Each structure stands twice: as structure tokens, then as C-alpha cells.
Amino acid sequence: MRTYNFSAGPSMLPTDVLEEAQRDLLNFAGTGMSVTEISHRNKAFEEIVNEGEGLLRELLHVPDDYLVIFVQGGASQQFAAVPLNLMHKGRADYLVTGNFAKKAYEEGKIYGDACCVASSQDKTYSYIPDLATVPFREDTDYVHICANNTIFGTRYTQFPKTKAPLVADMSSDILSREIDVNQFGVIYAGAQKNLAPAGVTLVIAKRSLAHDPLPACPTMLKWNVQDENKSLYNTPPCFPIYIATLVLRRLKRLGGIKAVNEINEYKAGILYDFIDDSSFYRNDVVKKDRSIMNVPFVTPSAELDAKFVKEAAQAGLVSLKGHRLVGGMRASIYNAMPVEGVRALVDFMKKFERENQ
Amino acid sequence: MRTYNFSAGPSMLPTDVLEEAQRDLLNFAGTGMSVTEISHRNKAFEEIVNEGEGLLRELLHVPDDYLVIFVQGGASQQFAAVPLNLMHKGRADYLVTGNFAKKAYEEGKIYGDACCVASSQDKTYSYIPDLATVPFREDTDYVHICANNTIFGTRYTQFPKTKAPLVADMSSDILSREIDVNQFGVIYAGAQKNLAPAGVTLVIAKRSLAHDPLPACPTMLKWNVQDENKSLYNTPPCFPIYIATLVLRRLKRLGGIKAVNEINEYKAGILYDFIDDSSFYRNDVVKKDRSIMNVPFVTPSAELDAKFVKEAAQAGLVSLKGHRLVGGMRASIYNAMPVEGVRALVDFMKKFERENQ
């Protein structure tokens, strides 16, 4: 039996995508080989990469003057790649709204004058700072944000208007909602939440910003080199790219990102409405900044939280334990989580409340 | 029908490994989830990583004072990681015996005084330079070699004895033959030839060398950070690591690397003996330096080479086209290529020779 898997990442993939991958695992596209065995220079694989890039451009309306590449190393590697590709003046502003936003900021400091211009650490990252009052500095190379904060369950509903190019880590909400790529200089995302198995990272960047990496930048981290080689500078992570392409096909079939976003708002609404109506469960995030991907919540006590996580798993609702920095529970409800999974969770929450009040 | 796939990488995986992965793709270790969907902090996945590391230590007799980590980015990323972790004096020697050895050398020059102390480029990399006459410099951080040269079909049968730590790219022969890890400061290998699907890279390094990366080193490229976090500093490439562990289990069942090496010598022997006895086919590598993983060969003409590649593919022997730098054919016969595959190739070569003499 397939469980409902609320893991924050790696996380659920659509069952039909996994079934297709399973069926073809020893014989991809009639080649008599696994997609994990064929050369990345094989035409059948090049078509997969090109299709994946094309679907990303189509679904996210990526302008032609932006590169779209598949790379390795996760968002954590982009924390270094961002300054190594962009930091020509040696100055960048960071908004620290969570654990990964902070890690990006710490990595930025290795390469130059990275400045934390706003933070919500004072209240356990339970809100997004007021963008109107952020003291952005003059003459910086970029402003860095994390669009959705997986651990704390917040997200930007508006993005800051900045003079310097805006760089966004969208690992936990890429393809979950419509965005205007033109607002951003660079978008990057580890794929293991909304797009693919772990091991591939998406970078979308304005080519005019990405053309001149710093001399110390490792070749593999140079966005322009990866772009010039159409993500095939060296052997890419073929299996995750293949699955990403299957997932992107599915998102297109569902009606594109507008339709996907509507489903996501609907799913999150079911859960937040129930929590807000309950006197037993609580979500501590400022309402306007609530994530529709990651929903942290608590019961009245840490003991009941632990009991909840255990009994939910027995009922087939797994990986609900909150991050150690927050405690309690967290339901990650990415694109691949069906509405039925959220309904099953709410049903279980009702039952647990009745039994433990 | 499964083909015999002579691709240089990504390349064949053992059919029984792929079948196990296929069977469990939607339900890993009874979790009701795919191995691509579970958190890397899930106990079932941590066990896979630990087992993989343990099997590598056992099969390669890795001493306890060496780290063994799974990272991302391929050997190409290690071309930068090597100087960024080791180049404290700013000087390193490189032996340039092929395309990737040269790329490693070029990347080394970004970070310091990288010197090519020996090269076989004068004869299209068809031999390994005489190690007794290499003018190694004094007071360098390391000496870099590529143990097996995929494109040109050469390998070191002896490794240089160097004062500075020896660093070896073993992407195309890791786990194919016995080595004495103590001879090396660092061994690294992209996994997509002998170990796993593309997307994971193995690094084995003496901890006393890896403890102090240069300040400019991206955190993700720091071997000590990856070691301290047991390859889980951030989300690792879970699926390739899982397959690697299945492959390592299989190598152990086969009797370990000594037994695997005997099979590989036997397979390569079948092919080289046939080529050497033939007046139609030719291998241009100096005999003592011949690779047992990659066997390039030519027919009497480029036209016949092209015909050979085409007709072989029709007979289910695929990816035999040589690299564009060399032309002709190349049979990559890594661990996963069965003896039957090499026999089938030789049978086809005999038939082709009869028909085209």
C-alpha cells in the first residue's frame, strides 16, 4: 500500500510518474537499456533534457534572455554559486527568513560583504519582514531571498522590488504557484520537493547577469558554462532529470501552473481552515505569510505531538514530525500530494482530537 | 530484449540490480514509499548510506584514517575540489595522460601553480609516460593522475611513488581491480561507469590531508564537512547512492575485488587476444599500458568503422562508436558487462571481418 508521505524533502512523487519509470526502468524508449545506462550524449537522452528545459520555459513563461539549466549539488551548492557568479562589486543583501536563508547568507559572507538587511529570527522565523521598511543598500550585486521557508512554514506572497537583481531560492515552492520570472535575476531550486528525486538542481538566470563568473568560480559552478553546454558540460544526473521531465509533462496535462496553484491553495485551505477552527491544534505563523507547501502545527503538548506523529504513521500518514528547530508536526503538501491525502490527514486530526481532548 | 551496452558512461548496470530497483521502486524496504521519496534523514535511507560506505571500506580495504564520502558533481567538480581542499602551498604536479587528466590540470591552474610534469599527448595519449623519468617538483601539495583513461584506453599498471600525496581520478576503473589505498592521498570517482547511475561521486581521502580546505572553497566542496556529516550535509543524490549500495552488495557476493579483477582481466583478454591475432582489427595502445575497461579498436578504414558501429547496433551490441578525438570503435567493458557480452562482440567482429575483407 502506498502511504501518504508528508516528508519535507525528498518527498512524494506522482504515483503515475513512478509507475511509468518502473515500467521502463530496464528498457527506456525502446533502447533495450535503462535510462540510467545510456550515454548522456545519446539522442534519446538529449531529447529528455531538451524537453525538460522546454517544458520549464513554457510552464513558467521564462523569457528567452534567461538560461534554464539542470545542475548538481542542491540549493546548498547554489549558496556558493550565487556569489561566485554575481558578486563583482563584492556586496550583496540577504533577507534571513529561515534556516536555509541563513545558510545562504553565511555562504555569501565567504565571498564578500554579505549583509543581513532583514531577519525574522526574533520570532522563530514565523513571519516575513515588512518589505517596505527593509534598508536595502545602494550599489549591491544582488538581493537574496528564500521564497518559501520549509521548516517554518512561511512564504513571500509579494516579492521585494529591488534595484539590484533579485535572487530567489525556490527549492520548496518552484512550480507550485505562478511567478513573473522578469521580477528575478536568478531563481534556483533543489528538485527534491516539487520536481524530481534528489540530485538535480534547477537554475533560471538572466543571461546578462550570468556571463562573467568570478575567476575563483569552479567551472562546474559557472552558470554560463552549463548554459553553453545545454546542461551537458559533464555527465548530468540523468535519472532525476528524466523523472523531472515526466513530472513536467504531468503538470502541463493538469493545465499548467495556474491550475496547479489553484489545487495547492485548495489543499492548504482545507488544512488551515480546520486548524483555525480547532481549539486543539495551532499554527503559529502570521496568517498573511503562511506557506501553502509546508504547514507546521502543534497539539496542546509535546507529549501529544509525539503520540500524534506515531499514531499517524500507523494510519499510513507518514513523515509528519516537525523539524527539530520547531518541534510539533509539519505537513508538507507539495504538488504531488493528492487532495485525498490532505483530507485523510484532517480526518485523522479530528479522530486524534476526539480521543485525546 | 536487453542489449549489450558498451557505452563509456553512463554504462551498463547489472540486470539483477536494476530488477531489484524496479520491483521496489514504489515501495522501498516496506515503507510504502519510493526510495526517491523518503527523507534522507529516514532511518531506512541512513542505513543504505552507511551500508554503502561500509561495503566500500571493506571491498577496497580503506584504512580507518581515510574518509569515504558520496558527493555530487562528478569528477569534473572534483577537478576544482582537489586544489580547493589541498593546495596550501599553491603548487601541484599533474600527469596529463588523456582528456580528463588534462581538464583536471586546466582546473588546477585556476587555483595555483599547476604544472604538467609529464604528458603523452605527443602520441594521442596512447601510452603512460615512463614514471621513472618524470621530473616531479619539490615541495608540492600533491601529484595528480588519472588512473584509467576512458577515451584512449590506457591505464597505469603501476602508480608513481611520489613524495607529495598522490591524487587519482579513478572514475573509469574504481572497483575493477585491487588497489592499495595507502599509496594514495585522495581517490575520487564519478560513479556512472562501475558503480551507479550518474549523479553520485565517490571520494576517499586521508583525513589528515582533508581537514583544512582553502578559505575560498564552497562548503559543499569541503571533504571534511561532508565527512563530518556522513555524506548527509544536505540532501544527497539518494537514488544513485541506493543503486551503488546494491551494486556493492553484488561485488561482495561475487567474491570481492580480487575475483572481480580476475573476471575483468579474462574479459579484456578475450578481446585483446582476438584483436592481436587479427590482421583486420587494430588497437594502437602500447601493450603494457592497455586498459582492461576501455578497448579502442579500428578496422582498416573509417568507412568500415562506421559500417561496423551501425551493424553491431542492429545486432544488439550498442554504443560502440569511439570518442570523436580517436575515431573508430571503443568497447567499454566495465564490471557490469558479462563475459557473454564480450563473446558476442568477438563473434560479431569475426562475422564482420569475413563479410568485409
**pLDDT band, very low/low/confident/very high, at A225 (cuts 50, 70, 90):** very high
Are A315 and A348 a contacting pair, CB within 8 Å? yes
Q: What is the mean pLDDT of chain A?
A: 97
pLDDT score for A231? 97
Of A22, A37, A234, the CB nearest to B5: A37
- Whether A74 and chain B come into contact, CB under 8 Å, resolves to yes
pLDDT at A1 over 70: no
- The Cα–Cα gap between A180 and A187 comes to 11
Name the residue type at position A159.
F
Q: Are A102 and A42 in contact (CB under 8 A)?
A: no
Q: What pLDDT was estimated at residue B2? A: 80
Contact A240 B199 (CB under 8 A): yes
Instruction: State the residue for C-alpha cell 520547531.
Output: A326
Please answer whether residues B32 and A316 qualify as being in contact, where contact means their C-beta atoms are separated by less than 8 angstroms: yes
Question: Which residues face B188 on adjacent strands?
Answer: B169, B203
Closest-approach residue (CA) in chain B for A2: B32
Contacts of residue A223, defined as CB under 8 A and 6 or more positions apart, other chains included, come to A67, A69, A81, A85, A203, A205, A210, A213
Whether B1 shows a pLDDT value over 80: the answer reads no
Model pLDDT for residues B6-58, shown as the tens digit of each residue: 999 999 999 999 999 999 999 999 899 999 999 999 999 999 999 999 999 99
Q: pLDDT tens, A16-42?
A: 999 999 999 999 998 999 999 999 999
pLDDT by residue (tens digit) across A343-353?
999 999 999 99
Q: Please determine, for residue B86, whether its predicted confidence score (pLDDT) is greater than 70.
A: yes
Are residues B10 and A38, on separate chains, in Cβ contact within 8 Å? yes
What would the pLDDT profile of A191-209 be if each residue is shown by its tens digit?
Answer: 999 999 999 999 999 999 9
Which chain B residues touch A3 with a CB distance below 8 Å? 31-33
Contacts of B197 in chain A (CB under 8 A): 36-37, 238-239
pTM of the model: 0.97
In chain B, the residue whose alpha carbon lies closest to the alpha carbon of A9 is: B39
Q: Enumerate the residues of chain B whose CB falls inside 8 A of the CB of residue A80.
A: 218-221
Could you say which of B5, B216, B236 has the minimum Cβ distance to residue A33? B5
Question: What is the arithmetic mean of pLDDT over B210-230?
Answer: 97
A275-319 pLDDT, tens digit per residue, is 999 999 999 999 999 999 999 999 999 999 999 999 999 999 999
B38 to A7: CB separation less than 8 angstroms, yes or no: yes
Rounded CA gap, B4 and B1, in Å?
10
Chains A and B form CB pairs within 8 A to the count of 222
Instruction: Tell me the shortest Cα–Cα distance from A66 to chain B, in angstroms.
Output: 23
- Cβ–Cβ of B316/A32 closer than 8 Å? yes
Residue of A21, A215, A221 lying closest to B25 (CB–CB): A21
Contact B102, B96 (CB under 8 A): yes
Q: Where are the beta strands (DSSP E) in A191-321?
A: 201-206, 294-297, 317-318
Q: Is A188 on the interface with B (CB under 8 A)?
A: no
Residue A131 phi/psi, 5-degree rounding, is: -70, -25
- B183 close contact with A: CB closer than 8 A: no
Residue in chain B lying closest to A313 (CA): B31
Q: How confident is the model at residue A2 (pLDDT cuts 50, 70, 90)?
A: confident
Instruction: With cut-offs at 50, 70 and 90, classify the pLDDT of residue B87.
Output: very high
List, in sequence order, every residue forming a beta bridge with B92; answer none if it has no partner: B114, B142
The count of other CB atoms within 10 Å of the CB of residue A123 is 12
